[in-house]
Amino acid sequence: MAQHDFNIANQGFPAFRADLNNALSATVTLSAGATEPSTTFAYQLWYDETADVLKIRNDDNDAWITLFTFDQATNSVQVSGEELVDDTTPELGGNLASNGYDIVMADNDKILLGTGSDGEIYHDGSNTIINDAGTGSLKLQIGGSDKVEVTSYGLDISGTAVADTQTASVSGSTTLDFDAYQNFVLTLTGNVTLANPSTEKVGQSGFIIFSQTAGYTVSLGTDYETAGGAGITLSASGDDIVPYVVMASGRILLGAPQLAFA
């Protein structure tokens, strides 16, 4: 490409025409070259062929400011990152495509939603938080219909909420995992002792179904409590349902068994 000092000296016509053509060529090619032009002017454009960036001379004519970075292989361009950092109120002129990359945000930097910035999404260093900082509520929708709504009073669910149920064959000492399951369907293959768990949550409730055909018994660890301390007696054969509620840590209250469903 061409570069020129943009000074047309007094000279004969053939030399003048060649000098002028060189100046015009430098103009239309933005003084492109692997090194900067030897003579520079304030606000002059220069395409740096080494880095494939377009630069403009500052108004003091003592430095270059990068405007754009070009990828000649993919015929694409990116705005200089310096400009985006300095612009405290950048605006989009269209949809922002991630182009296969991530949007990376530091802890406690927020995505703000809404005219009043009431909606917030961020990570506080330990937890991911979705927050309505205004007077509204948080909603999860399917097809435009509310399914879950978090309000200042608690949680509203439209439809059903189904907890996980463990189905297993058990005998001997058995520890129920209240962290992973809400309900339990246990087929007894021998006498069972429900060992004290460590995963129950206060307020958690559900049911335990004991299924058998051989008259096996169920003994209880000290964390399981029954009315009057009577324990539970199952039917010799069939499906028995025992409801439970966690009153406190280490206190799982069991209701009266409903026996021999068939």
Please report the pLDDT score of residue 80 as a whole number: 77
* One domain, residues 143 and 182: no
> Under 8 Å CB-to-CB from 209, ≥6 apart: which residues?
183, 184, 185, 186, 239, 240, 241, 242
Give residue 19's pLDDT band: very low, low, confident or very high (50, 70, 90).
confident
CB 259 within 8 A of CB 240: yes
Burial of 214 (0-12, 13-18, 19+ CB in 10 A): exposed
Domain boundary, last residue among 50, 85, 120 = 85
Does the pTM exceed 0.75? Answer: no
* One domain, residues 150 and 63: no
Domain boundary, last residue among 157, 179, 214 = 157
pLDDT (tens digit, 9 = 90+) per residue, 108-167? 999 999 999 999 999 999 999 999 999 999 999 999 999 999 998 999 999 998 999 999
* One domain, residues 33 and 120: no
Assigned domain for 198 exists: yes
pLDDT (tens digit, 9 = 90+) per residue, 163-210? 999 999 999 999 999 999 999 999 999 999 999 999 999 999 999 999
* One domain, residues 120 and 174: no
* One domain, residues 37 and 56: yes
Q: What does residue 64 show for φ and ψ, rounded to 5 degrees?
A: -105, 145
* One domain, residues 152 and 170: no
Assigned domain for 90 exists: no
* Residue 81 domain boundaries: 13-85
Give residue 45's pLDDT band: very low, low, confident or very high (50, 70, 90).
very high
Kindly report the average pLDDT of the chain as a whole number: 93
**Res 23 pLDDT > 80:** yes
**Res 22 pLDDT > 90:** no
Give residue 92's pLDDT band: very low, low, confident or very high (50, 70, 90).
confident
Assigned domain for 142 exists: yes
* One domain, residues 181 and 237: yes
CA neighbor of 216 nearest in space, from 242, 188, 246, 238 = 188
CB 8 within 8 A of CB 18: no
* One domain, residues 150 and 169: no
Assigned domain for 51 exists: yes
* One domain, residues 182 and 133: no
> Under 8 Å CB-to-CB from 235, ≥6 apart: which residues?
259, 260
Assigned domain for 213 exists: yes
Assigned domain for 5 exists: no
Query: Which residue has 């990570």 as its token pair?
Result: 123
Query: What is the total count of domains within the chain?
Result: 3
* One domain, residues 137 and 67: no
